[in-house]
Structure 1
Amino acid sequence: MLHYPYIPNSNEAVRKEMLDFIGAESVEEIYAFIPDEVRMKRPLDLPEPFTSEMDLKKHVDSILMKDSTCDENISFLGAGCYNHYVPAVCDEINGRSEFLTAYSGDTYADHGKLQTFFEFTSMMGELLNMDVVSFPTYDGGQAASTAVMMSHRINHRKKVLIPETMNPNLLSQLECYCEGMDLIKVRPLENGQIDLEDLKGKLSDDVSCVFIQNPSFLGFFEEQCKEIGCLAHEAGAQYIVYADPASLGIISAPADYGADIACGDIQPLGIHMSYGGGLGGYLATRQEEQYVMNYPHHLYSIFKNSKGEFGYARALPERTSYYVREKAVEYLGTCVGLWAVTAAVYLAVMGPEGMKEMGENILYKCNYAQKKLETVEGIRLPYKESRGFMEFVINVDGTGKTVAEINKELLKYRIFGGYDLSRQMPSMGQSMLVCVTEKTDFSDIDTLAEALKKILSKEE
């Protein structure tokens, strides 16, 4: 048996000491209860261990060097995770030990952290024009799923109307999380906007909620939000809007056009892109009992004691799985407390004017990019009649190349091309979702256009 210095208790002598202590002859005896048909019959194929920390670091660094990031490449990838600018103060604050090593609050009577969580919910409430905002969920997908289940617990209905152009990854989470709910797609018009006639035809007294993304997954603003909300309410359904917080400095908040529940991802608020982490979701409603008592997550409140001193605490904890376990409305976790801290710092630094300037910056660059790329022969913008924000679709059927082929060629120019929609939305043909953020320079867009012209002008 090899000794792996970074695997606890892998030393044979230590292993024997542990077995002797519990009175077992071998490790096999401990695992004997596992059914034979599900057990692996061979040793794990592990490489030889690194006995030197220096050698281990060299090995890991050699693997990491194969990676290619958005720091040394121009990126036009989005589709749910975005290359926004992260102010240095966000990393400075969330890296402090009092936040980084104790990401949750209340359990430790940590009033500084509780205040930070309260400030996060307060600033999000201002941005969303909602009364109540919960502690973050694991990501936007869980926030969306919880919003749907909240609607079900309120009206006990099981049908959910969603846009046909919904983010496929978000849809996958809804299908998994919202067990027992019937997800029904509403078709779009040619310009991508939701077909109100199709929506009317699918609304009935057994529809729990109408769910939209604004901006849509394909990048444009849904321009019939108020009408959609009115139709949902006429049918007695809840109206849920999944909104990108980066857009809320320049457009109306979901509450202003009738949303009962707002949800989304907080990754745009000072959180770096990362592979499988660094995400958190928000959930917001009016302060009404039917909503408040259906939040599975922590709610933070402020109070004043008899001495006139302010304090912060969790409100109505009896709703949560921390207090009543399996009797709670849903499962609750605390792993995203650090991102609540980060988003609070970001919102405090940006302020209303900063959020407005960022939104305008993105909008201008998105419009410029659409006009620039439309000049490239063979490229078509199928939804140019709708107003794009940060992302937009280009179709390359007319070029004779696939999106995968084009993106592979773009790598030679140190460009990450747009998200390949043909994999999950084949009905759109060879289309990609192009993303520009406030970090994208106008010169980056010009570089993309020139690279595409060169790639598409090559003879087969």
Structure 2
Amino acid sequence: MTESIVYPYIPNSVDSIKNEMMNEIGIESVEELFEAIPKHLRIEGRLNIPGPILSEIDLKRHVESKLKKNVSCDEYTSFLGAGCYNHYVPAICDEINGRSEFLTAYCGETYADHGKCQAIFEYTSLIGELLDMDVVGLATYDGGQAANTAIRMTNRITGRKEILVSENISKSLIMQIKEFCDFMTVKFVKCDSCTGNIDLNDLEDKISGETSCVFIENPTYLGSIEDKGMDIGRIAHENGAVFVVSVDPSSLGILEAPASYGADVVCGELQPLGMHMGYGSGLGGIIACRNEEQYIMNLPNHYYSLYENEKGEFGFARSLNSRTSYHSRENAVEYLGTNVGLWAITAAVYLSLMGPEGMYDLGKNIVYKSNYAREKLNGIDGITVLFDEGRPFKEFVVNFDKSGMKVEEINDWLLKEKIFGGKDLSQEFPQLGQSALYCVTEKTTREDIDNLAHALNKIIN
């Protein structure tokens, strides 16, 4: 029989309290709480893990010994991206989001949390200006959920169940879409081998009266800028489909906002706007739409609005709560939370600090460095930069087939040079051979890029 342990850091781990709780909800074992999880996803028996460390001082010593094994991007130069980026976080972002009235991610009651309501209203206003969109909802859990929320909206609007996406889309995002939108069908559109962008002819061949939406990433997952957005939007609308665009907000200081080339719904990841990289933390999803009833009433997020009462006094509060799971959980089209309120406020601080000129300088800086890095690496024997006719933003694909080496092997050698190499794409995109996705941001210096080129040349040649 397994010895019962009372964990000093886990509430209610005393057997008598656990039994009282189980009796209250009418179950005989904790296992009954997990019956909804399919059996093939569950591990039978106990996990082979060490016993608990019950002493606080021993636990602290153990955790610190594990943390010391980590190496951060402040110690090594990083060329990793693929959805989580090493952008500079201004000190004021941490100063503001560390304030006690903001630090909890939860939003509080509409009538009792006016400061946070105003702060999130400012977030929606700033994101609306950045996207050139009229309606912005509260941030979602992350960019992946925002994309899926947008896609599910299109199903409710059109009644259709087919999604058209680029074959170069993030495989992680596709996994989310197939799970989150499992009642819909994903169809892939070919991409041009020279630019990495969507093949318009293939899009026209595959779109039909069953297509709910055409979904694109701009910039794409592999770093190319989709410069035919107007044509993609036209094809979608001519066939009665909704045009959904996922954006990298750090690109919008120099790229046209998706609304200008016909986007109906815009989504994206907030992390580049003043959030540190973390193990799953610091993520939030952007979701915005046109100022039309069919979109507004199908966006299941909270809206934050400015109100004027009969005395002429202004205030801030949530509006149209009846659309959300907070109002009617059993009839909700999607379940949401306010746990990303902190990151919405952080993004508002970042955008307020940067302003239009700052966002323009950011985008310009990244484009210059992206092109410099691409040209520098393309000049090394054994390396080929793919999609070289496309226009890169922040990321680009480097192929090592001519070197005869695997990306995994190259990245191991780069670690010895205190460099995090690009993300290995050989499993996600086997058709690209031994390729990696390299990323540069405004934090990447010319010296960093030159050191990378020197290290790669030494490793390969």
TM-score class normalised by the smaller sequence = over 0.9
| Alpha-carbon contact 1:106-1:114 (below 8 Å) kept | no
Query: What's the counterpart of residue 214 of structure 1?
Result: 218
| Alpha-carbon contact 1:220-1:389 (below 8 Å) kept | yes
Shift of 1:204: 1.2
Shift of 1:306: 2.6
- Matches of 2:22 and 2:447 in 1, distance apart? 70
- Matches of 1:413 and 1:125 in 2, distance apart? 43
**Equivalent runs, 1:394-405 vs 2, <5 Å:** 394-405=398-409
Q: Secondary structure at the match of 2:373?
A: helix
Question: Does residue 165 in structure 1 map to residue 162 in structure 2?
Answer: no
Amino acid in structure 2 at the alignment position of 1:243 = V
| Alpha-carbon contact 2:8-2:54 (below 8 Å) kept | yes
Structure 1: tracts of 5 or more residues without a match: none
Q: Secondary structure at the match of 2:328?
A: helix
| Alpha-carbon contact 2:105-2:340 (below 8 Å) kept | no
- Over 3 Å counting, the alpha-carbon distance change for 1:395 and 1:97 in structure 2 is same
Shift of 1:455: 0.4
Query: What's the counterpart of residue 56 of structure 1?
Result: 59
Amino acid in structure 2 at the alignment position of 1:125 = G
- Matches of 1:412 and 1:308 in 2, distance apart? 65
Query: What's the counterpart of residue 264 of structure 1?
Result: 268
Shift of 1:441: 0.6
Shift of 1:426: 0.3
Amino acid in structure 2 at the alignment position of 1:94 = N
| Alpha-carbon contact 2:224-2:396 (below 8 Å) kept | yes
Shift of 1:327: 1.1
| Alpha-carbon contact 1:136-1:281 (below 8 Å) kept | yes
Question: 127, 132, 150: which one pairs with 2:130?
Answer: 127
| Alpha-carbon contact 1:155-1:208 (below 8 Å) kept | yes
Query: What's the counterpart of residue 136 of structure 1?
Result: 139
- Over 3 Å counting, the alpha-carbon distance change for 1:22 and 1:319 in structure 2 is closer
- Over 3 Å counting, the alpha-carbon distance change for 1:224 and 1:89 in structure 2 is same
Shift of 1:59: 0.9
Q: Secondary structure at the match of 2:426?
A: helix
Question: Does residue 67 in structure 1 map to residue 70 in structure 2?
Answer: yes
- Matches of 1:22 and 1:201 in 2, distance apart? 59
Q: Deviations over 1:414-453 (max 9, x none)?
A: 0000011101110110110000000101100000000001
Query: What's the counterpart of residue 301 of structure 2?
Result: 297
Q: Secondary structure at the match of 1:424?
A: coil
Amino acid in structure 2 at the alignment position of 1:328 = A
Query: What's the counterpart of residue 427 of structure 2?
Result: 423
Q: Deviations over 1:28-73 (max 9, x none)?
A: 9655978999798866655344343222211100000011111100
- Matches of 2:312 and 2:101 in 1, distance apart? 26
Given the two structures, how large is their TM-score scaled by the length of structure 2? 0.93
Q: Deviations over 1:324-364 (max 9, x none)?
A: 11212221111111111111111111111111110011011
Q: Secondary structure at the match of 1:255?
A: helix
| Alpha-carbon contact 1:106-1:314 (below 8 Å) kept | no
Shift of 1:105: 3.7
Query: What's the counterpart of residue 228 of structure 1?
Result: 232
| Alpha-carbon contact 1:229-1:239 (below 8 Å) kept | yes
- Matches of 1:410 and 1:177 in 2, distance apart? 37
- Matches of 2:47 and 2:113 in 1, distance apart? 44
Q: Secondary structure at the match of 1:376?
A: coil
Question: 425, 435, 446: which one pairs with 1:442?
Answer: 446
Shift of 1:102: 5.7
- Matches of 1:23 and 1:260 in 2, distance apart? 48
Question: 142, 145, 149: which one pairs with 1:146?
Answer: 149
**Which moved further from structure 2: 328-337 or 157-166?**
328-337
Amino acid in structure 2 at the alignment position of 1:84 = H
- Matches of 2:275 and 2:18 in 1, distance apart? 43
Shift of 1:205: 1.3
- Matches of 1:314 and 1:48 in 2, distance apart? 47
Q: Secondary structure at the match of 2:279?
A: coil
- Matches of 1:428 and 1:381 in 2, distance apart? 11
- Matches of 1:15 and 1:382 in 2, distance apart? 60
Q: Secondary structure at the match of 1:251?
A: coil
Query: What's the counterpart of residue 241 of structure 1?
Result: 245
Question: 203, 208, 211: which one pairs with 2:207?
Answer: 203
Question: Which structure has the bigger radius of gyration?
Answer: 1
| Alpha-carbon contact 1:106-1:313 (below 8 Å) kept | no
Query: What's the counterpart of residue 334 of structure 1?
Result: 338
- Matches of 2:241 and 2:446 in 1, distance apart? 43
Q: Deviations over 1:218-254 (max 9, x none)?
A: 1010111101111111111111111110000001000
**Which moved further from structure 2: 201-210 or 34-43?**
34-43
**Equivalent runs, 1:289-368 vs 2, <5 Å:** 289-368=293-372
- Matches of 2:34 and 2:285 in 1, distance apart? 39
**Which moved further from structure 2: 290-299 or 33-42?**
33-42
**Which moved further from structure 2: 307-316 or 46-55?**
46-55
- Over 3 Å counting, the alpha-carbon distance change for 1:92 and 1:108 in structure 2 is farther
